[in-house]
Amino acid sequence: MARYIAIVDGKPGAFGVVIPDLPGCTSGGCTFEAALLSAGEAISLWIEDARAEGEVIPKPRSVEELRADPEVADALANGSVLA
């Protein structure tokens, strides 16, 4: 089963999450763990909304494909992590 990979950045008290394969899908939390939990909810809502609108749900890319994406590579070079 393929899973969406998140980009997480921030510091204690303010972590942000972006799901690169789902445009506009973001979340956050006060802790790393809370941000990831919130990201799971954001992904579910994003997919629910896309289905309701009749949109195609993008397939998740592999870690290797994401690392090759210039925007993702830039985020990783500036301290973000994949989760």
Q: What is the pLDDT of residues 17-52, one digit of tens each?
A: 999 999 999 999 999 999 999 999 999 999 999 999
When the pLDDT of each residue in the chain is averaged and rounded to a whole number, the result is 95
Is the confidence at residue 1, as pLDDT, over 70? Answer: no
Expressed in percent and rounded to 5, the helix, strand and coil fractions of the chain are: 40, 20, 40
Query: What pLDDT is attached to residue 60?
Result: 96
In whole angstroms, what is the distance from residue 66 CA to residue 47 CA?
20
Q: Which two tokens stand for residue 78?
A: 């500036």
DSSP β-bridge partners for residue 2: none
In the β-sheet with 26-29, what is the strand arrangement from edge to edge?
A: 26-29, 14-18, 7-11, 81-82
